[in-house]
Structure 1
């Protein structure tokens, strides 16, 4: 586990029941900020692991080049579009349809978090009373927002993995950008191998009750116990 600038963090990834791990992640410190990101290459799409790795590499490169001169939210918006163009071009040049989700957070010393998301990897802020998380860009999320189904029903819906957006599959992409305060909460970023299977109450208990390295291990175990069939990647960070 790395300990820098009062923010303690850890990351862990697990292949689960898949033949290969198509997730990729970054957790580190850059120019007075921390950068955390999880990308989940699309299963069933050619070279999903290539797309997720490209996303993380380009994001880290962009942050290294532009922090701290750039406003973090604008940086994320530009980086996501750069990633989308790179993967889309890779697909066109190679006759492929590689794609990936990505949720990324830039965290300042003050605890302010700038978050960018495409797809259904999630950034969460976990407190003793609540879990805030980014909006999934999925078909099922649209059903939840319309009132057609509940969040609990969404977890078992047969089309819960149908994305409305992913990086690399079309020439343009809509990036969801959020600004939140970490305050006394804990930051968690996860691929859907965790949050599609493990209830929020269990996630909250694990994240609040353990140091980041143990929390990551226990989250991966919880996904396995919940019969997750997907790759699972988690990053946990707390002051």
Structure 2
């Protein structure tokens, strides 16, 4: 089982915000480990409702349907159901609640399927490299176009402009990835963390010491990097 052979820990810190609009989930279903983070959109009503709704509908979908012949497709189904649920809530209440959502589904062979919408991220760190999912954001489009580089994207004044989120449109495009987590550390994080810490610093923290201590260090580093947002992280180590 993934949890019995790996170490999983999480943290969600309110930071300097009036309330915490992030949500997270970790748990096992059969031979799978599920990890998910969501970040309710700041400046939108009921961001906390959107993030918790996304996590709830996604995990319900996974629990109902695992095992599944195509786990990545199942993640996409869960994301689209979550989007529909939040859109329905918005229509019923005259609101525009929205959220990011990033989830990882890991099997006992350490094969990890990742799905994401918005700018929460999944990172995978090894001894000599770090990889992360691509944001659905205006700043990511600038990076893709070569207008700015990844370091310049940190702290960019328009970093909060998303090109996709759950709950804001009837259709949503879900990015999926498949990664090997053997001898690797997985991080799921909201932008209150990774927007304020350089990538190499994240890698070093993830690979140093106990995952619980790494969570503490990541929160401290984000705050030291002037983060004023909610800060959420899940770390799963498979070494």
- Same fold? TM cut 0.5: yes
**2-structure distance, mates of 1:69, 1:139:** 34
Residues 59/70 of structure 1: CA separation in 2 closer, same or farther (3 Å cut): farther
Partner of 1:68: 67
Distance in 2, matches of 1:131 and 1:69, equals 29
**Structure 2 unmatched runs, 5+:** none
2:6 corresponds in structure 1 to 7
Q: Does 1:121 align with 2:117?
A: no
Report if aligned partners of 2:68, 2:74 keep a CA contact under 8 Å in 1: no
The count of residues paired between Structure 1 and Structure 2 equals 237
Q: What do the CA deviations read for 1:152-183 (whole angstroms, capped 9, x no partner)?
A: 11112110110000000000000001111112
Q: Is the 8 A contact 2:29 2:66 kept in 1?
A: yes
Distance (whole Å) between structure 2 residues aligned to residue 84 and residue 104 of structure 1: 14
Q: What is the aligned partner in structure 1 of residue 108 from structure 2?
A: 109
Contact 2:9 2:211 in 1 (8 A): yes
Is the Cα–Cα contact under 8 Å of residues 39 and 102 in structure 1 kept in the other structure?
A: yes
The answer to whether the Cα contact below 8 Å between 1:5 and 1:109 also exists between their aligned partners in 2 is no
The TM-score, its normalising length taken from structure 1, stands at 0.97
C-alpha distance in structure 1 between counterparts of 2:99 and 2:68, whole Å:
28
Which blocks of at least 5 consecutive residues in structure 1 are unaligned? none
8 Å contact kept, 2:102–2:117:
yes
TM-score of the aligned structures, taking structure 2 as reference length? 0.97
- Equivalent positions of 1:48-197 (< 5 A) are 48-197=47-196
The structural deviation recorded for 1:70 is 4.2
